[in-house]
Chains A and B, each alone.
Chain A
């Protein structure tokens, strides 16, 4: 038995079971994995966020597919994605079968009242990691602040809050930023 196959299954099964709050909630877990294994780096997570925002499908699934394919080859993507979704199937079928008013249950509501802010805090921490790997470049002499990327970030963030531009698809921002990055040689 190849232990890597089962390790990937186990890790993504765990994410599927504990990432409460959908898409962005998987990012902290992915950052954990980047630290723990050499399957991918935090920088890969950042690239993956960009790819996920510009392709259909939820981030968690895209990331599972990416890691699986990278580590195990063509069928690895499907393998990791299936590992991620099995807990969903088990939990949802149990809820549908036995708990008719699950989302209205007093204790479920109570737990989510505090899970939501905790997840917000965890995501904020993960975003901090994204900032670190995006705004600093590793060079021979140590970490260098990527000033151009930082200026672009501030400019895009400001522009996104203009009403007319706020509904624009992320992929348009990515294409624009890629062009600017190439022209100004970021």
Chain B
């Protein structure tokens, strides 16, 4: 029982003290899980993080689930995840209960119009850094533009676009593999 509480509390702290999620979480994860608790070594943590990034869902949650699983199997996965999501649930629930009373206030409206400018700037930065990371070949550029156009000008479900992109990647790899196979055969 004590171990579960410890697991819950460690992830509660990580969830409650990391802003922004995703990449910004890695130093905090390393500090809590590798240096302080010694539950996993750094390499395993990076593995968990890599898997967390290439499985669906929120990266922070996925990493918590994976580390929890390594510690205590399924029950550890559930306890770790519960710890990770508790601070968000608490903070936002409390904020929501107050927020709706404030939104009508004229000064809050002025403040929000200013804040929206910052949101735009932050989001533009997010798009630029994502583009830098993911547009690594002409094929990638074509896919990104296609997804953008489909999302803006058609009613295509987001889920469908992601699935089609995944299939395209697998087909591309298959064709590339076949072409390479033929080339190798010719050389022999």
Residues on A lying within 8 angstroms of B by beta carbon are: 14, 16-24, 26, 28-29, 32, 46-47, 49-51, 53-62, 65-66, 69-70, 74, 77-78, 81-82, 84-85, 87-89, 91-93, 95-96, 102-103, 106-128, 130-131, 134-135, 137, 146, 148-153, 156-157, 160, 169-171, 173-174, 176-182, 185-186
| Bound-complex Cα distance A20 to B52 (A) | 10
Residues of chain A within 8 A (CB-CB) of B187 are none
Q: Which of B19, B78, B170 contacts A111 (CB 8 A)?
A: B170
List the A residue with the shortest CB-CB distance to B53. A22
Other-chain residue from B88, B110, B130 in contact with A56 (beta carbon distance below 8 A): B88
Do A93 and B121 touch across chains, with their CB atoms under 8 A apart?
Answer: no
List 16 extra interface pairs beyond A118-B143, A137-B113, CB under 8 A: A16-B58, A20-B56, A22-B59, A55-B19, A56-B91, A57-B60, A66-B92, A96-B51, A108-B54, A113-B172, A114-B143, A114-B166, A115-B165, A122-B162, A127-B124, A153-B118
Residues of A within 8 A of B112 (CB): 47, 178, 181
Contact of B120 (CB < 8 Å), options: A88, A106, A134: A134
B83 to chain A, nearest CB (A): 11
The interface centre, meaning the residue of A53, A108, A120, A131 with most chain B CB atoms within 10 A of its CB, is: A120
B92 to chain A: closest residue by CB: A65
Q: Does B173 contact A (CB under 8 A)?
A: yes
Minimum Cβ distance to chain A for residue B173 (Å): 3
Say what secondary structure dominates the interface of chain B: helix
A174 to B117, CA, bound (A): 9
For the complex, is B85 an interface residue (Cβ under 8 Å from A)? Answer: yes
B152 CB to nearest A CB, Å: 5
Total number of A-B contacts with CB less than 8 angstroms?
350
Interface residues of B (CB under 8 A from A): 15-22, 47, 50-62, 65-66, 69-70, 74, 77-78, 81, 85, 87-89, 91-93, 95-97, 99-100, 107, 110-127, 130-131, 133-135, 139-141, 143-149, 151-152, 157-159, 161-162, 164-170, 172-173
Name which of A92, A152, A170, A181 has the most chain B CB atoms within 10 A of its CB.
Answer: A92
The answer to whether A180 and B114 touch across the interface, beta carbons within 8 angstroms, is: yes
Q: How far is the CA of A95 from the CA of B141 in the complex (A)?
A: 30
A58 touches B21 (CB 8 A): yes
SS of A interface (majority):
helix
Q: In the complex, what residues of A have CB within 8 A of residue B60's CB? A: 22, 57-58
Give the Cβ gap from B146 to chain A, nearest Cβ, in Å: 7
Q: In the bound complex, how far is the Cα of B85 from the Cα of A81, in angstroms?
A: 8
Are B81 and A89 in contact (CB-based, < 8 A)?
A: yes
> Within 8 Å CB of A50, what residues of B?
115-116, 118-119
B117 adjacent to A152 (CB under 8 Å): yes
Please, which residues of chain B bring their CB within 8 A of the CB of A182?
107, 110-111, 114
Give the residues in chain A near B120, CB-CB below 8 Å: 130-131, 134-135, 149, 153, 157
**A and B contact pairs by CB, cutoff 8 A, 8 listed:** A47-B115, A74-B97, A82-B85, A114-B140, A114-B143, A117-B141, A118-B165, A123-B126
| Residue among B18, B139, B149, B162 with max Cβ neighbours from chain A (10 Å) | B162
CB distance from A162 to the nearest CB of B (A): 13
